[in-house]
Amino acid sequence: MMEPLLDVKELTMDFGGLRALDKVSLQVLPGEIVALIGPNGAGKTTFFNCITGIYKPTGGDVFVTPPGKKQRRISGMKTHRVTAQGMARTFQNIRLFPEMTVLENVMIGRHCRSRVGVLGAILRDGTTRREEKDIVDTSYAILEKMGLAEEVNELAKNLPYGDQRRLEIARAMATGPFLLLLDEPAAGMNPRETDALEELIRRICKEDNIAVLMIEHDMRIVMSISSRIYVLDYGRMIAAGTSVEIMENPVVIKAYLGEEEIEDDKCS
Amino acid sequence: MNAFAQIRQSLIIALWFMFLTFPILAVRVNTIEKVVEWRWPNMIYVGIGSFLISFVWRYFLERKAQGGKQGTHTALLGEATVQAMTVATPSVQATTATEVTPAGQAGAQTAKAPATATGKPFMQRIMAEPRLYRPVLMVLSLFGLAFPFLPFASTYQINIVTNALLYIMLGLGLNIVVGLAGLLHLGYVAFYAVGAYSYALLYYHFGIGFWVALPIGALFAAIFGIILGFPVLRLRGDYLAIVTLGFAEITRLVLENWNGFSFGPSGIAGIPRPGLFGMEMDLHQVTIYIYFLMIALCLFTIFVVNRLQNSRIGRAWVALREDEVACEAMGVDPTMAKLTAFALGSTWAGLAGVVFAAKTTFVNPASFTFLESAMILSIVVLGGMGSIVGVIIGAFILILLPEYLRAFSEYRMLLFGLIMVVMMIFRPQGIIVGIRQIYEFKKASAKEGNRQ
């Protein structure tokens, strides 16, 4: 049994009296593409915000095990520290840096992998120049891989929607992650773009050996791409399994379609 | 047709103005001779004046509205040229394959400039092309060097230009906080005061000279910047503005009321001017000396700010301005980024403060009111946030204009205000829009293994 990259144990999040996440457990193994699905308001994005440190979870633990390193507890860690650990995310509503160029957007991702401080920036010594060149080259290589090489000097806000989505992934890739967290990467895309995205995610997973955990509503891409699927409803994890298991699971069908006569014993 | 409609609209406005001002300007009751005087010429002036103003106003608004459309049009054209360039030079790129070819890069720049500029691509084009801006820069620097020795350069003239240079430094410092990091800072003058009082008090108590006080003043201001930075880390926008404003007022009130420390409203006098190897200089010579000192400090500021802007730290600041949540999620520590922005911004205020104390030889709290903060902020906003050239132009306009408008004495502040209002309506992004750096990069297609 491989050590899971991400191990979430009984994560709980309360907003005042509202329990947004109730003892949610989830694992991502190396090389996996895992999908997290659920109806609107189920707490999927809250889950992402909790494990990336944007919210402080009120209970439970989150552990990460970067490849070749020891397990670390990251719950309660600050967001930028979590990213430095090797978990990078994208956002449901695109959050690029609109007035910066495409290349600069990706270069920001390299921030946590570079060291030069104020003095180095002013003096611009050999170390700084080498590091800067490394940042630019790495960022450009990522953009080339993502098929955005043509637009490097364009402002991010001027990109078409689909490219902006890809740029967000590119920016997350630049942080050198072992796990990508994608929040609805296919939202607002047409079927052709979705197919391209699916291809891209597969490639990232295979070539760069980055595991993917994604929230998605588009069932076509979820069913075809994921090794495993978790289903969240009202803050509870109601099912987990392969795509076939999930599709046939009556509890999941109930959560989505509101069917009534279901025996409770299948719920686990 | 459109022009006709515009003229008709302006005519209506003119008539309306004539009607409104008729009782005040045209009718006068002469109470001595008990007759009503009809001053028809006044009416005609009002009519023609309001017609012209309204027409010009409409014309510029129209142009501004069309400017946006033209901008996108040229941007498209620019893209087309880039594509043409890349098509035309694939062999070069394939063979050298290390850097962008000059042609491709120039194309990229011309494509970018119109895309960012909305109304005035002219300035952008000049700034993007070394062949165009180098001669301009040469002439300007020659003029800068020769200025104090020109026949019309009286002590007064040199003094006001030195003052403008001082504000360039302040503007560039505030530009780090407001323009780059996007933190609305209304209390910048507090750090200016810290610098000035550092020198004044250090001289008064310990007899420390200008050159030693300069770095110490900067350091004190930076420390104050960090002290202010900590409590306001969580604040943004309006809230941050209020807190920084309050901080500046606290600083000023402390200086005004703590007599034992700062000698209250009467201030500290007799601060020595900067020395030059113990040479004796008369007032005019010292003025020239301070002028060159300020030129050197300004160049130093421009150099440092430019380097910071195009560094890892500078990018982090801009990212912080654009989207704080995303910035943090991409691994930038917002606490560090904000504190460095505050500290570095304050450093320049501290430097400028020391020079200010040395230049005027006298400091008191009245020099550090909120109006001063507002002035520096106006320089940054008018010039163009995040643009070094913009801030320089902004400082010259805002500091020199009121001086040269002294001829209109009581109307000068009115004109000044009018210029600001008109500027914000027609060009809210400032005189110069900050352009993003274009990087040279290695085409990774040549070899795969350059990612580590």
Residue B100's pLDDT is: 38
In a domain, residue A209? The reply is yes
Residues A138 and A81 in one domain: no
pLDDT at B116 over 70: no
Residue B219's pLDDT is: 95
Residues A73 and A109 in one domain: no
In a domain, residue A91? The reply is no
pLDDT at B206 over 60: yes
Return the number of other C-beta atoms located less than 10 Å from residue B422's C-beta: 12
CB contact under 8 A, A172 and B330: yes
Q: Is B436 on the interface with A (CB under 8 A)?
A: yes
CB contact under 8 A, B452 and A112: no
- Rama region for B427: left / alpha / beta (φ>0; ψ in -120 to 50; rest): beta
B446: phi then psi, degrees, rounded to nearest 5 = -65, -50
Q: In which band, very low, low, confident or very high, does the pLDDT at B44 lie, cut at 50, 70 and 90? A: confident
CA distances (Å), origin B130, targets B126, B136, B178, B393, B436: 8, 10, 28, 19, 16
Q: Is B313 on the interface with A (CB under 8 A)?
A: yes
CB contact under 8 A, A80 and B334: yes
User: How confident is the model over A146-201, as pLDDT tens digits?
Assistant: 888 888 888 899 998 888 999 999 999 999 999 999 999 988 888 888 999 999 99
CB contact under 8 A, B323 and A97: yes
Residue A90's pLDDT is: 93
Nearest to B115 among A95, A128, A155 (CB): A155
CB contact under 8 A, A121 and B316: no
In a domain, residue A93? The reply is no
User: How confident is the model over B419-448, as pLDDT tens digits?
Assistant: 778 888 888 777 777 777 777 766 644 433
- Rama region for B434: left / alpha / beta (φ>0; ψ in -120 to 50; rest): beta
CA distance A112 to chain B (A): 5
Element (H, E) at A22: strand A18-28
Split into its structural domains, chain A has a count of 2
Residue B84's pLDDT is: 39
Residues A170 and A105 in one domain: yes
pLDDT at B362 over 60: yes
Q: Is B443 on the interface with A (CB under 8 A)?
A: yes
Q: In which band, very low, low, confident or very high, does the pLDDT at B128 lie, cut at 50, 70 and 90? A: low
Q: Which of A174, A205, A238 is the last residue of a domain?
A: A174
As beta bridge partners, residue B42 has none
CB contact under 8 A, B323 and A95: yes
Residues A157 and A220 in one domain: no
User: How confident is the model over B157-175, as pLDDT tens digits?
Assistant: 899 999 999 999 999 999 9
pLDDT at B36 over 80: yes
User: How confident is the model over B333-354, as pLDDT tens digits?
Assistant: 998 999 999 999 999 999 999 9
Residues A38 and A58 in one domain: yes
Q: Which of A155, A174, A193 is the last residue of a domain?
A: A174
Question: What is the rounded average pLDDT of the residues B44-68?
Answer: 82
Q: In which band, very low, low, confident or very high, does the pLDDT at A263 lie, cut at 50, 70 and 90? A: low
Domains, chain B, in order of start with CATH, read 2-88+103-128 (no CATH), 132-426 (1.10.3470)
Range of lowest pLDDT (A166-170, A213-217, B274-278): B274-278
Residue B94's pLDDT is: 37
If you write DSSP's letter for every residue of A118-173 in order, what string do you get?
A: HHHHHH--HHHHHHHHHHHHHHHHHHHHTT-GGGTTSBGGGS-HHHHHHHHHHHHH
Q: Is B304 on the interface with A (CB under 8 A)?
A: yes
Residues A137 and A36 in one domain: no
* Helices and strands in chain A: count of H runs, count of E runs: 10, 10
Residue B356's pLDDT is: 94
Residue B342's pLDDT is: 92
Per the CB < 8 A criterion, the answer to whether A185 and A169 are in contact is yes
CA distance A86 to chain B (A): 10
Per the CB < 8 A criterion, the answer to whether A103 and A140 are in contact is yes
What's the mean pLDDT when you consider all of chain A? Answer: 88
Q: In which band, very low, low, confident or very high, does the pLDDT at B224 lie, cut at 50, 70 and 90? A: very high
In a domain, residue A267? The reply is yes
| For B326, nearest residue in chain A (alpha carbons) | A95
Residues A140 and A219 in one domain: no
Residue B73's pLDDT is: 41
Residue B85 CB contacts under 8 Å (≥ 6 apart), including other chains:
B103, B104, B107
| For A89, nearest residue in chain B (alpha carbons) | B329
Residues A188 and A258 in one domain: yes
Q: In which band, very low, low, confident or very high, does the pLDDT at B317 lie, cut at 50, 70 and 90? A: very high
Interface test with A, best of B301, B330, B335, B442 (most A CBs within 10 A): B330
Per the CB < 8 A criterion, the answer to whether A122 and B304 are in contact is yes
B270: phi then psi, degrees, rounded to nearest 5 = 75, 30
In a domain, residue A59? The reply is yes
Q: In which band, very low, low, confident or very high, does the pLDDT at B124 lie, cut at 50, 70 and 90? A: low
Distance from C-alpha of B25 to C-alpha of B41, rounded to nearest angstrom: 10
Distance from C-alpha of B294 to C-alpha of A32, rounded to nearest angstrom: 61
Amino acid, single-letter form, for residue B309? Q
CB contact under 8 A, B444 and A158: no
Give B329's contacts in chain A (Cβ within 8 Å).
52, 54, 79-80, 83, 88-89, 91, 95
What percent of chain A clears pLDDT 70, i.e. is strictly above it?
96
Q: In which band, very low, low, confident or very high, does the pLDDT at A1 lie, cut at 50, 70 and 90? A: low
In a domain, residue A139? The reply is yes
Q: Which of A174, A195, A212 is the last residue of a domain?
A: A174
Amino acid, single-letter form, for residue A80? H
CA distances (Å), origin B179, targets B117, B171, B352: 17, 10, 19
Distance from C-alpha of B57 to C-alpha of B379, rounded to nearest angstrom: 24
Distance from C-alpha of B195 to C-alpha of A244, rounded to nearest angstrom: 70
Domain with A191 in it: what CATH number? 3.40.50.300
Per the CB < 8 A criterion, the answer to whether B148 and B288 are in contact is yes
In a domain, residue A69? The reply is yes
As a 3-state breakdown, chain B gives helix, strand, coil percent values, each rounded to 5, of: 75, 5, 20
Residue A218 CB contacts under 8 Å (≥ 6 apart), including other chains:
A186, A187, A189, A194
Distance from C-alpha of B189 to C-alpha of B181, rounded to nearest angstrom: 18
pLDDT at B269 over 50: yes
**ipTM (interface predicted TM):** 0.89
Q: Residue B99 in 3-state DSSP?
A: coil
Residues A78 and A202 in one domain: yes
Q: In which band, very low, low, confident or very high, does the pLDDT at B255 lie, cut at 50, 70 and 90? A: very high
Residue B149's pLDDT is: 84
Give B323's contacts in chain A (Cβ within 8 Å).
95-97
Q: Is B385 on the interface with A (CB under 8 A)?
A: no
Question: What is the rounded average pLDDT of the residues A206-232?
Answer: 91
- Rama region for A209: left / alpha / beta (φ>0; ψ in -120 to 50; rest): left
Residues A136 and A157 in one domain: yes
Residues A187 and A236 in one domain: yes
What percent of chain B clears pLDDT 70, i.e. is strictly above it?
82
Contacts A–B by Cβ distance under 8 A: 149
| For B301, nearest residue in chain A (alpha carbons) | A122
Residue A68 belongs to what domain range?
Answer: 1-86+177-268
Q: Residue A35 in 3-state DSSP?
A: strand
Residues A2 and A51 in one domain: yes
Interface test with A, best of B76, B441, B447 (most A CBs within 10 A): B441
In a domain, residue A208? The reply is yes
Distance from C-alpha of B287 to C-alpha of B299, rounded to nearest angstrom: 18
Question: Any idea what DSSP says for residue B40?
Answer: H
If you write DSSP's letter for every residue of B271-329 in order, what string do you get?
A: PPPPPSTT----HHHHHHHHHHHHHHHHHHHHHHHHHHHTSHHHHHHHHHHH-HHHHHH
pLDDT at B99 over 80: no
Question: What is the rounded average pLDDT of the residues A44-71?
Answer: 90
Nearest to B112 among A83, A99, A153 (CB): A153
Q: Is B250 on the interface with A (CB under 8 A)?
A: no
In the stretch 329-358 of chain B, residues with CB closer than 8 A to chain A read: 329-334, 340, 344
